[in-house]
Structure 1
Amino acid sequence: MKIHFNKIISYLLTGILGILGFSSCVGDEPDEYGTPTVDYVYKGKVTDEKDVPIQGIQVAADLKDPNDASIKKDTIYTDANGEFQKKITGLYTVKSATIKFSDVDGKQNGSFQDATITTEDLVKTKKRNGWYLGEFTFTANQKLKKK
């Protein structure tokens, strides 16, 4: 009877530990051990035709893999100096970025036409270290025309 009871406990504990192990693997955080990660930064400055910074411009980035498939989309806004910067950590390879600039605040800072940039100009800004593959930066400065 004792051997039968130990088998049941063994199977039960194996099942519980298996479920707990799989549930701890779910999430967006990169694994610290054994999973290569890379940082991608897109940054720049948005000005009008007279080089005056524009605040509140929506900057929507679409990062694409080597097969031109969209792998990450993100949106931020320019600050008071017309600058924007976003860092994305991932487990994927980015080949290019399509960045769209849109004036979404109405006439608050003037009305500007939308613009789009596609760039493959990645600059390595941090070196590789173990599983960390480094940091790559896209710089996208844009002048917007008034409507």
Structure 2
Amino acid sequence: MKQKINRWWTWMLGGLMGLLGFSACDPFGVIRYEYGVPNADYKVVGEVKDEAGKPVEGIRVVFAPWGRDSESAPWVNDTLYTDRAGKVAGELEVDGIGDNMEVEFADVDGPENGSFEPLLLKRSDLKITQTKEGDKSWYQGEYTIEAKARLKKKAE
């Protein structure tokens, strides 16, 4: 009798775990889209120059889709660094961008490539263009977000 009950519980628990799956075990890994959640692909590109128009290397660029002070989803902020040509490029893995989107530029390498004042661009300062149409359903297409910055030297 005891063996029969053990087999029954093993079958029930195995079936239940198979039906429910384990997608809830990874809360912040991959963002899983639920039915009815619009989504799009966002590519981000940027260019950083000094006041003389020369490219600046080593500038930290933070793309914050819902603003830097947003407590709703701080893990979606994407941090990139400029290359020798002063350019950054990447992709945002989010389901949308807010009206308060911000891009922050900060000199984090000190005097190595020059010392510059931080700069904050708002959504109105960015160029957002749709590069691919959506499927007229939940997928809204592909967008490119372009941010260009001219940094001022820090006063010494």
How has the CA–CA distance of structure 1 residues 9 and 60 changed in structure 2, closer, same or farther, with 3 Å as cutoff?
closer
1:127 paired residue number? 133
Partners of 1:136 and 1:111 in 2: CA distance:
32
- Structure with the larger strand share: 1
Alignment of 1:1-147 (within 5 A): 8=9, 10-18=11-19, 21=21, 23-24=22-23, 26=26, 27-30=29-32, 36-64=38-66, 71=73, 72-120=76-124, 121-129=127-135, 131-147=138-154
How far, CA to CA, are the matches of 2:12 and 2:92 in structure 1?
A: 42
C-alpha separation between the residues in 1 aligned to 2:97 and 2:91? 14
Q: Which amino acid aligns with 1:81?
A: A
Q: Deviations over 1:20-59 (max 9, x none)?
A: x1x135441546x986531122221000111100000011
The RMSD of aligned alpha carbons is 3.0
How many angstroms does 1:115 deviate by? 0.9
Give, in angstroms, the shift of residue 61 of structure 1. 1.8
Equivalent-residue separation in structure 1 for 2:115 and 2:43 (angstroms): 28
Pick which of 76-85 and 9-18 moved more: 9-18
Query: Deviations for 1:70-126, whole angstroms, at most 9, x for unmatched residues?
Result: 543121100110011120122345434211111111111111111111014432112
- Once residues 114 and 10 of structure 2 are traced to their aligned partners in structure 1, the CA distance between those partners, rounded to angstroms, is 71
**Comparing 122-131 and 6-15, the one that deviates more:** 6-15
**CA contact under 8 A between 2:78 and 2:92: conserved in structure 1?**
no
Q: Structure 2: any 5+ residue segments left out of the alignment? A: none
Q: Distance in 2 between matches of 1:103 and 1:78?
A: 10
Separation in 2 of the partners of 1:96 and 1:136? 17
Cα distance in 1 for residues equivalent to 2:109 and 2:61: 13
| Partner Cα separation in structure 2 for residue 125 and residue 70 of structure 1 | 28
In structure 2, what is the Cα distance between the partners aligned to 1:16 and 1:46? Answer: 51
TM-score normalised to the size of structure 1?
Answer: 0.76
Identity of aligned residues (%): 33
Report the Cα distance in structure 2 between the residues aligned to 1:8 and 1:41, rounded to whole angstroms.
50
The DSSP-based 3-state class of the residue aligned with 2:101 is strand
